[in-house]
Amino acid sequence: MTDSADIRFLLAIEQSGSLAGAARMLGLTPSAVSQRLQQMERRLATRLVERTARKLVFTEEGALLCRRGAELVRQFDALVEDIHLRHGGLVGTLKVNAPLGFGRRHLAPVIADFQRDNPEVDVALTLSDQPLTETADRFDVVVHIGELRSSSLIGHAIAPNSRFVCASPAFVRRFGNPSSPDDLAALPCIVLRENNEDVSLWHFGKGRISRSVRVASKLSCNDGDVIRRWACEGRGVMLRSEWDVADDIRQGALVRLLPTWKSPDANVIALTRDRAGLPRRTRDFMQFLQMRFKPLPPWRV
């Protein structure tokens, strides 16, 4: 017989990718994790995980138990939450994944305020330079900025966000102000590595005219704060989200280049597994998040 605790235990192994990682996540010793897994396999009379010195692979039965079990756990948690709601506020754990810079600057305050208003909810925020990974379905909410490629997750609009080509005033004085996107190919540029995208190919449009430019980058980083600092120091041109550079442009630390050319928008969206059947704490957090960015997001105030 396997109960919800066993399913949660197996999901922890799947999420961490190793028995040692699951031990850290669960606060157990590696030997205790190994013994509990063996006990589950004996009860079910089947192998759930193949363990080798180099990797851990779920068997077909183990993968099925994780896939079907995860949905049962969500339904059970939703049931318990509905019972608690009859006697008070929200309860349970909310897991949120978000990009590094945006998460630090704009999402962390929202999450702290939501938890303050809902003291029985535990909120776990994970910041990553690749929020859309194969483990994204282990989170209740994944905040994403930019185009959403094929995904089984459902997108919810949070805030508008443009992208600007920027450089420091000192850089413009030294290299001149480009008159067309094609001029960027001859300038030193700085790129942000994120979401496994082709980050050195920049796209622009003006009316019915479109341009794609392959820029030369001597500096790159997976942290937006770093490339913004480099740009402010005059080390190159960058293509960056409005939410990150609006203050620098207003204060004169950065200059927007090619203002008549538009890069594709990179709107802020939140992703969930589905629209119907979400736990109440997830639905309420989504509403709380959307309201914090209305009527205008902070970068447009």
DSSP line for 22-87: HHHHHT--HHHHHHHHHHHHHHHTS--EEE-SS-EEE-HHHHHHHHHHHHHHHHHHHHHHHHHHTT
Residue 224 dihedral angles phi and psi, to the nearest 5°:
-60, -35
Do 125 and 112 belong to one domain? Answer: yes
Closest CA to 267 of 127, 162, 196: 162
d(CA 103, CA 114): 15
Domain annotation covers residue 248 = yes
Domain annotation covers residue 243 = yes
Do 142 and 220 belong to one domain? Answer: no
- Among 49, 82, 115, residue at a domain's last position: 82
CATH of the domain at 240: 3.40.190.10
Domain annotation covers residue 155 = yes
What is the number of domains present in the chain?
A: 3
Cβ burial 247-286 (10 Å sphere, 16+ → b, else e): ebeeeebbbebbeebbbeebbbbbbbbeeeebbbbbebbb
Token representation of residue 151: 């995904």
Do 57 and 72 belong to one domain? Answer: yes
Residues in a beta bridge with 219: 190
Terminal CA-to-CA distance of the chain, rounded, Å? 57
Q: How are beta strands 268-272 and 154-159 bridged, if at all? A: antiparallel
Using DSSP's 3-state secondary structure scheme, residue 269 falls into strand
Token representation of residue 205: 């449009």
Domain annotation covers residue 241 = yes
Return the pLDDT at 210: 94
Domain annotation covers residue 118 = yes
Return the pLDDT at 1: 46
Do 224 and 150 belong to one domain? Answer: no
Do 172 and 188 belong to one domain? Answer: yes
Domain annotation covers residue 204 = yes
Residue-level pLDDT, tens digit, the chain, 301 residues: 456 788 888 888 888 888 888 888 788 888 888 888 988 888 888 899 887 767 788 898 888 888 888 888 877 777 776 776 655 678 888 999 999 999 999 999 999 999 999 998 999 999 987 766 655 567 889 999 988 776 678 889 999 999 999 999 999 999 999 999 999 999 999 999 876 778 899 999 999 999 999 999 889 998 899 999 999 999 999 999 999 999 999 999 999 999 999 999 999 999 988 766 678 889 899 999 999 999 999 999 8
Token representation of residue 114: 């939501």
Do 118 and 243 belong to one domain? Answer: no
d(CA 191, CA 108): 25
Do 99 and 178 belong to one domain? Answer: no
Domain annotation covers residue 119 = yes
- Among 55, 82, 109, residue at a domain's last position: 82
Determine the structural domain holding residue 295 and report its residue range. 89-161+267-300
CATH of the domain at 21: 1.10.10.10
Do 73 and 136 belong to one domain? Answer: no
Domain annotation covers residue 222 = yes
Do 156 and 168 belong to one domain? Answer: no
Do 145 and 11 belong to one domain? Answer: no
Cut 0.95: pTM above it: no
Do 116 and 152 belong to one domain? Answer: yes
- Among 82, 111, 128, residue at a domain's last position: 82
Do 72 and 95 belong to one domain? Answer: no
